[in-house]
Amino acid sequence: MEWINGGITAPIGFKAGGVHCGIRPNKTKNDLALIVSQKECSAAGLFTRNVVKAAPVQVDQKALSCPKAIAILANSGIANACAPHDMENALKMQKLAAAALHVDQDDVLIGSTGVIGVDLNVDAIANGLPLLLKNLASDEAGSDAAAKAIMTTDTVKKEKAVCFDLHDKKVKIGGISKGSGMIHPNMGTMLCYLTSDVSIEASVLKEALKEVCDQTFNRISVDGDTSTNDSLIILANGMAENEMIKEKNEDYEVFKNALLQLCTQLAREMARDGEGAKHLITCKVHDCESEEKAEVLAKSVIGSSLTKAAIFGCDANWGRVLCALGYAGQSFDPLKTDISFSSLKGDIAVCKEGKGLAFDEEKALEILKEEEVIIDISLHEGDAEATCWGCDLTYDYVKINGDYRT
């Protein structure tokens, strides 16, 4: 497997684009994205577990009851959730794209992200579609424009692509995602769109997506909130012409591993770009009796406000970490637990068998000043492990969310 350029347009047969259509007041900001496949795709999606689901999520869930699609249309600025005409506008959005592309309405999936409770300006979408169609591109520019169009409080675009071999065929997967706040395990104000030219049956594609999501997007947390609009969608058009993957065989594992690597990077970038964040926090729990238990414990640490605040302050307050492990609802022996902090500046052990160690505070400060801080936890009870990602909690997070709507 190798990393390549091109994002969602790297796979054969995909075009993408993004424009400003007028949903957002800032005319320099793209707010409408379109991804289109040359051929009908096997499609799969995973969505928010929040009981309050935005209209676009409901539309996509219905459309994917027949797991095929050709295009995805998404906007930023307005979430089209809990708004007076949310479902009506979601269906209009889907219908507009279908008419413009001359495809069935259910072959178009949609997405929205932004402010909740405000009606979506569908007229702006209708007016922007001709320019968007004109600007569709199969090169990096198309993916770049689409990636920027789905951003809200994100400070950087999230875009990746990989290439790998299935026997004598080159297969590619590309992805763009957005998410900066209201992100918690089980996804969060997150839109992630993946494309591939792999030939794979939709039911098998859905299984791969679910397995990968559980190890990536469901292992990140920014602020403990789960959004109304979380959507993770993949389209696979088969244009790589590999032998059709119909079951969980060797080809399936190769494809799933490439998808896992790509989604891991996108998930890390979302955690790194958390609202107001200065640090990416990586928590590794290992020597555990099960992967599921290790994941729950690691999630508790990255979700701890006190731990996040300590990392923001570059304070090696390992007690916050041990405390977060203790209320995770999992049994473990604190007197067998070791904790250390590390970064590009080195590593430092701070807790051994549940007791504090004497350590160099200046070295700890140097380690914790780095952009990515790793919290390493060993339970000494088994050989399973899990890694989760989060970010620190800063003053800027409150500033951003204090006036997000206004």
Output the average pLDDT for the chain.
Answer: 93
Looking at the fold, whether 370 and 226 belong to one and the same domain comes out as no
Can you tell me the distance from the alpha carbon of 98 to that of 21, in angstroms, rounded to the nearest whole number?
18
> Among 272, 302, 322, where does a domain finish?
272
Looking at the fold, whether 147 and 12 belong to one and the same domain comes out as yes
CB count within 10 Å of CB 84 equals 9
Is the pLDDT score of 55 beyond 60?
yes
Looking at the fold, whether 350 and 211 belong to one and the same domain comes out as no
Tokens of 267: 């998930």
Looking at the fold, whether 110 and 199 belong to one and the same domain comes out as yes
Q: Are strands 231-236 and 191-196 parallel, antiparallel or unpaired?
A: parallel
Can you tell me the distance from the alpha carbon of 370 to that of 391, in angstroms, rounded to the nearest whole number?
12
Looking at the fold, whether 28 and 124 belong to one and the same domain comes out as yes
Among 14-18, 56-60, 215-219, whose mean pLDDT is lowest?
Answer: 215-219
Looking at the fold, whether 354 and 258 belong to one and the same domain comes out as no
Exactly one of 113, 152, 153, 189 is catalytic; which is it? 189
> Among 272, 295, 315, where does a domain finish?
272
Sign (positive/negative) of CA torsion 218, 223, 224, 230?
A: negative
SS3 at position 204 = helix
Looking at the fold, whether 97 and 210 belong to one and the same domain comes out as yes
Give, for 60, the enclosing helix (H) or strand (E).
helix 55-63
Q: How many helices (H) and strands (E) does the chain have?
A: 11, 16
Q: Contact, 221 vs 71, CB < 8 A? A: no
Looking at the fold, whether 303 and 239 belong to one and the same domain comes out as no
Looking at the fold, whether 287 and 200 belong to one and the same domain comes out as no
CATH number of the domain bearing residue 174 = 3.60.70.12
Range of the domain at 125: 2-272
At 324-339, the pLDDT tens digits run: 999 999 999 999 999 9
Looking at the fold, whether 248 and 359 belong to one and the same domain comes out as no
The question of whether 195 is a catalytic residue gets the answer no
Can you tell me the distance from the alpha carbon of 102 to that of 23, in angstroms, rounded to the nearest whole number?
24
275 — phi, psi (to 5°)? -55, 120
Which residue in this structure is represented by tokens 């922007």? 128
CATH number of the domain bearing residue 316 = 3.10.20.340
At 207-253, the pLDDT tens digits run: 999 999 999 999 988 766 677 899 999 999 999 999 999 999 999 99
> Among 215, 249, 272, where does a domain finish?
272
What's the average model confidence in pLDDT over 350-378?
Answer: 97
Number of domains in the chain: 2
